[in-house]
Amino acid sequence: MVNRKGVAMEKTDDIVFLNLLDDMSDGIFIIGYDGKVRIENAAASQILDFNDEKLSGKTIMDLLVDNNKNDEFFQCIIDAVLRRKKLTKVVDFFIDGERK
């Protein structure tokens, strides 16, 4: 794993980073420009109704098929992947019909 500056991280840094990510209550997942999930935390899996199933390696299409109530959210992800650029936009996300 490398940090934001492209410098290789120490193995202990990787472990600390992944533990910190997993301890967060906000759902976080990182998608590569190929459209596949690279890293996710447990909260992201739960929010997207994948429960304990790992998201890593899944494509955006895998996530879209099982979650049709958040079209605007997933459209932002698709736009970022297609443009190969960071996209900063806040959109509502719905769980069980309730905005979160």
Which contacts qualify for 42-47: CB closer than 8 Å, 24 or more apart? 47/93, 47/95, 47/100
55 domain residue, yes or no: yes
Write the pLDDT tens digit of every residue in 21-45: 888 888 888 888 788 888 888 888 8
1 domain residue, yes or no: no
The residue segments making up the domain with residue 84 are 11-99
CATH of the domain at 78: 3.30.450
72 domain residue, yes or no: yes
What is the reported pTM?
0.61
Neighbours of 53 (CB within 10 A): 10
26 domain residue, yes or no: yes
2 domain residue, yes or no: no
Q: What pLDDT, on the 0 to 100 scale, is given for residue 2?
A: 53
21 domain residue, yes or no: yes
The total domain count for the chain is: 1
